[in-house]
Structure formats: structure tokens, C-alpha cells
Structure 1
Amino acid sequence: MIRGINKQNIFEDEDDRQRFLETLGYYKTLSSYLLYGYCLMGNHIHLIIKGMNESISQVIKRISSSYVYWYNQRHERCGHLFQERFKSEAVETDAYFLIVLQYIHQNPLKAGITKDISKYLWSSYQDYAGNPGITDIDFALDGFSNDRTKAVKLFIDYTNENNTDKCLDYTESVGVFDKVVMDYLNEMGITTISQLQRLSKDQRDDVIRKMKEIEGITIRQLARMTGISKSVIDRV
């Protein structure tokens, strides 16, 4: 799991997400790693990767450095975007592999981003469900059945089962969905977080005050979404 620094969002829009997937695909060829699954969330990314010619640390460094360089250029910002160290665990059995795969595909559902996993475009679920992309899907699907059509159906059924599994769990209690906050920012003429970060101190503080008026929003959520520290927001 790769997380934004100070838990801030790491994707401004679909172009950012598409660029990250392109980066995954590029280094997949260059570093020869296997990508079994992914899910792009607002401020963190889940990857199931098997290193081949390079260590996982080197692979993640390549991916993150490339994406951050592009992101900073595009959004006219500088500095770190991701926390220094990714969070990881080894997947040592086939059974746990399927649990982890199911867990990351259910992330958008459990976060309240979507009510239907199949409608979420930014995870490897789409690759498994019939639209092959950059994901290495054979290992998982062969575990369900040698018949590919049957395997896909079994995979879809399994992915949509209710469960309480937690793998590298990253949760936050949020009273207001991020989209509501972002819509409110858009109404104030702010279309991206980087635009907010470039405002003068007085302008920025005025925006923060107005956002804090939203019932249910927390200082932690504002800090995560804006990249502005909790102490600064608290003082404002």
C-alpha cells in the first residue's frame, strides 16, 4: 500500500489515475514484475506485486518517483507526494492471495465510493471480469477453474461476497464523503487541490474556514484532502 504524505489525496482527476496506470504498465515491462491486482483510491493505492528481476522496494521506487515527477509538473507543485515508506506484507498461500485480491477490489465499496464494484473503473477488477489490461490475471482465475468462462463467473461471485477481512487495513471515520467536500470547493472556483495550495495565505485560510462550516467534516479529513497540516487548519 502506497499512501499520500500526511494522508493527502494523490489523484486530482481521471487523467492522474490514467497516468498512474500507464506508469504501472511501463515499469511492469521494464522491471519484469508480475502485477496480480491493484486499486487506486483517493489518497492511497493497493498493489499485489511479485518482484522478478528487482526487489519490491526498487519497483515501488521506480513507479512512485516517475508518477510524482509527472504529477508535480502537471499541477505546478514541488516536494513529496507519497509517504517515504510503503506498507507491505508477504502473501504466502493461495488462500490468502484470494483474500487479499478480494479485499482490495472491495475497497471502493467499503469506502462508500461506489455501490457496485463492477462500476468502479480504477481497479484490476475490470481486467478480471472480462476487459484484460495490465493485470496478470491467469494465476488467480486458474485457481477458480480451468474453464475461463466459469472461472470469471466464480471470481465475480467470490469478489462480491460479504466479508470482514482486513489486509493492511487503512480506514478513517468520515462523516462527509470526499466528493461532497470537493463539490463545495468547486463551487468556490477551486478545481484542484494544487490550486488551493497555491493561494495566498489569506485566501487559503478563508477557504478553510468556509470548508469547516460543512457539517460533519473533520480537521483530519481536511488535512488529508488538502495536504495542509492539521496544526495549520486547527489554528485557522
Structure 2
Amino acid sequence: MGNHIHLLIKEEKEALEIIMRRIGASYVYWYNLKYNRYGHLFQDRYKSEVVEDESYFLTVLRYIHQNPVKAGIVADAANYNWSSYNEYVGKRAIVDTDFALRIYSSDREKALESFKRFHWISSDDLCLDVSENKRLTDKMVVEIIKQKCRVNHCSEIQSVEKDQRDRYLKFLKEEGLSTRQDARLTGISRGIVLKA
């Protein structure tokens, strides 16, 4: 966990890209100032997935809270300083805990009991798990695109029907291709690659 963070963000007025850009820029500015350094701090673009229902929301929340325990950093989620877990069970500061707790019950005490019980359930949930994958070279990516998308040249994906193109792009993301690499090799704009 020394190389990544997990955020569960409700997208309302601003797009996730803008929110993450602001968080990233603010943190990099602070970090560079504090440690008297310059330049980039993050290796890759953030990874995200949509949480579409309450059940999965609670699963993701538990996954985030159990992550330091599974990583062997602490024995109990309550002992991890950088987690929102204690805001749910204790003093609230910056996290909107009401949304999650109301899923359990409108009675706050009952909701807290259910919340704690659910978080103590051991699970093997993998919610956009971060792995230490080796970066794919352009040559490797070109071969993946040609093989999986059944094209002779990567740029041919541009002329494929929109729905099929988006299925290809989504598949390529799942294969581990970065958005930049995907956009550069296919000639499709980053915005389209991101939305696929």
C-alpha cells in the first residue's frame, strides 16, 4: 500500500477526470514543496470503475477498509491512520458517512452495528485491485491489438463501427493497455479511449 491509494468518490457536479486532476495537482504541489523537489510524482493515470448499486458500494467500501489489514500493515482497520474507517465508527471530519450508514438502517446505532459486522466479514473481494504488472512495450501492444481486434494495422480500429470500436477499446483496457498508449497507437483520441 505504499504505492497507491483508494478513493470512493461520488461524481456530481464535476467529472471524475477533473476531480482527480485537482487532487493530484494539489498533492504534487504540496509534496514537491515539502521535499524541495520538482517534476512528476505519479507513474500512471488513476484507475477507476463505476459503482452502480448499494451492494457493490458496500463491498468496495469494505475492500478499501480491509486493504491495509490484507497488506499486513495493521491487524485491525481501526488502527490504520490513513483510512476513513474511524470516521464511520467515531468522529467524522471529511467523509460523508451518512450515505453508507443509511443503507444499513435509518437508526444510526443499528447502522453502526451492521457496518462493523459487515466489515469484520473476511472476504476475497477484488475491487479494481492494483497489481505490479510489467509495463507493456509498444511492440507487444501492437501485436495484442492486431490479434484481439483482428486488424492488420492499429489505426484500422478508427474505421470500425462505434459500438464495436468501444468494445475493442474496453477490452484493450482490461488487457492492461494504458490510455495514452492505446490512443497513440490507434490514433483514437484519449477522450474516446477513456469513455469506452
TM range (shorter): 0.5 to 0.7
| Counterpart residue number, 1:52 | 12
Superposed displacement of residue 154, structure 1:
1.0
Work out the CA distance in 1 between the residues paired with 2:74 and 2:118: 18
Q: Give ranges in structure 1 of 5+ residues lacking alignment.
A: 1-40, 173-236
| Counterpart residue number, 1:87 | 47
| Counterpart residue number, 2:104 | 144
Whether the aligned pair in 1 keeps the contact of 2:101 and 2:108 (CA below 8 Å) is yes
| Counterpart residue number, 1:4 | none
TM-score (norm 2): 0.65
- Post-superposition Cα deviations, 1:195-217, rounded to whole Å, max 9, x if no partner, equal xxxxxxxxxxxxxxxxxxxxxxx
Q: Percent identity at matched positions?
A: 54
Computing the radius of gyration over CA atoms, which structure comes out larger, 1 or 2?
2
Question: What RMSD over aligned residues (CA atoms) do the two structures have, in Å?
Answer: 1.2
| Counterpart residue number, 2:91 | 131
Work out the CA distance in 2 between the residues paired with 1:142 and 1:65: 33
More strand by proportion, 1 or 2?
1
2:82 maps to amino acid: W
Does residue 70 (structure 1) correspond to residue 8 (structure 2)? The answer is no
**Matches for 1:146-225 after TM superposition, within 5 Å:** 146-171=106-131
| Counterpart residue number, 1:107 | 67
1:157 maps to amino acid: R
Work out the CA distance in 1 between the residues paired with 2:56 and 2:17: 22
Whether the aligned pair in 2 keeps the contact of 1:130 and 1:152 (CA below 8 Å) is no
State the SS of the aligned residue for 1:48: coil
Whether the aligned pair in 1 keeps the contact of 2:77 and 2:83 (CA below 8 Å) is no
Superposed displacement of residue 85, structure 1:
1.3
Larger RCO (alpha carbons 8 Å, 6+ apart): 1
1:64 maps to amino acid: G
2:91 maps to amino acid: N
* Alignment partner of 2:56 out of 77, 91, 96: 96
Superposed displacement of residue 152, structure 1:
0.8
Superposed displacement of residue 83, structure 1:
2.9
- Mark the CA change 1:109 to 1:171 in structure 2 (over 3 Å): closer, same or farther: farther
Superposed displacement of residue 105, structure 1:
0.4
Pairs aligned (count): 132
- Post-superposition Cα deviations, 1:44-81, rounded to whole Å, max 9, x if no partner, equal 11001112221010001001101101101111111111
| Counterpart residue number, 2:186 | none
Work out the CA distance in 1 between the residues paired with 2:45 and 2:79: 31
2:63 maps to amino acid: Y
| Counterpart residue number, 1:120 | 80
Superposed displacement of residue 171, structure 1:
4.4
